[in-house]
Amino acid sequence: MDIRYRIQGGNILRGDVTISGSKNAALPMLAASILCAGETVLHNVPDLRDIRTMLTILEFLGAETSFHDGTVRIRAHNVQSKPIPSNLVSKLRGSIVLLGPLLARFGVVEMAYPGGCVLGKRPVSAHILALEQMGAQNMSTDAVLHLQGKLKPGRVILPEFSVTATENALMAAALLPGETRIDIAAAEPHVQELHMMLEDMGASVEGLGSHTLTIRGTETLKCVTRRVPSDYLEVGAFTIAALVTKGKVRMHDVEYEHLLSFLDAITRLGGVWTYDENEKILFVDGEISSLHSMNVQTNIFPGFPTDLQAPMGVALTQSQGVSRIFECLFEGRMAYLYELEKMGAHIEILNSHQALIIGATPLHGRTVASNDIRAGAAMVLAGLCAEGETIVTDVQYIERGYDQFDEKLRKLGAKIERIEMVPGS
């Protein structure tokens, strides 16, 4: 089904919004639940398509799950490792984080290749290499990922700072008695959250927030209750929304340490904000902000998040001067700029990784597409500050990553309507 947003631009956003739990943290936390044979309880879980898909996969493997009012319960007593078909994993690249826990617990894992957003080449080689270094045999074919063997602790050197490969290696090592060291590990907030969850489950993990992790695993992990941290990417989207509509938005449940590079960039952009550390409230005052050009370069954490590059691109269209975006991680992340050009943005695409944005230019409502989760959110932000009506298509992408995005925007004063298109209409 094609779901669309119809947006009437030009409305100033004002008010309070509570940030939802992080999908990127919740998915590996759900996967970690199968490392133990009891009940895992997760609070503050966002109600998203990707979360529902992961729960369906866990149920296919034999888990009993429930999801009510932000709380997920997973009972993994009867989980088995069996081939996971394409129809379950083809729309969720995040399902790749099941490799490590299934292999560590059962000695075998088999699944069709996971899908999800197309952001250039995102191979699974880092995952396979990590698990091979722990003793796995790679039996994969062109159609199926298949690893088997008894894992052993040791040293894992990742070929890149891959978030999900780090998570797979972490979860596998947690169930192995002995010491495993992971070098070139990713350090994103959701990796750190998994690190802390595994410690609660009984593993010893050193190196929180660094690129070298040392894990002392155990044969038996206990099930735990954890709260999913808030989504710093959603914070970024609402921050840009406040700036481009010249609004005043107060965001609750914000982790400042997750946003160091982003908020520094917002300051350099000319955005005005304050943070209450005790209350974890971020207040963005777009009314008194004066946006000007800047350079943005994405990087691994704690650098500027690639997932906030597209929303920042929208802000740069409303900033005075010539700005440069340098996307270091994914070659497919610049496609949204063509959609912004349709709306009147002045953009020069230099190559698949770099572009110039010349501002400030008024945007005009058009029909634009969601190329992926984050690009889709960026198109919504563009629609909020554009003159006239904007139609954002393929909203199902956005709803894989943002919990009640349209509803939250409406409560802040946006004129946004969700439309489910009937085939043939």
Prior bond of 360 cis (ω within 30°): yes
239-242 long-range CB contacts below 8 Å, 24 or more apart? Answer: 239/266, 239/271, 239/273, 239/282, 239/284, 240/311, 240/312, 240/314, 240/315, 240/381, 241/13, 241/381, 241/384, 241/409, 241/412, 241/414, 242/13, 242/284, 242/285, 242/286
Distances (CA, A) of 383 to 55, 206, 315, 367, 369: 33, 45, 12, 10, 12
Residue 22, both tokens: 């992080």
How many angstroms separate the CA atoms of 50 and 92, rounded? 6
Query: Do residues 166 and 186 touch, judged by C-beta distance below 8 A?
Result: yes
CA 208 to chain centre: 20
Which is nearest to 266 in space by CA: 240, 248, 287? 240
Active-site annotation holds for 385: no
As to burial, measured by CB atoms within 10 angstroms (0-12 exposed, 13-18 middle, 19+ buried), residue 155 is exposed
Query: Do residues 245 and 384 touch, judged by C-beta distance below 8 A?
Result: yes
CA angle 51, 67, 186 (to 5 degrees): 35
Catalytic residue among 36, 117, 223, 385: 117
Sign of CA dihedral 327, 331, 332, 334: positive
Query: Do residues 148 and 139 touch, judged by C-beta distance below 8 A?
Result: yes
Query: Do residues 361 and 322 touch, judged by C-beta distance below 8 A?
Result: no
* Residues annotated as part of the active site: 117
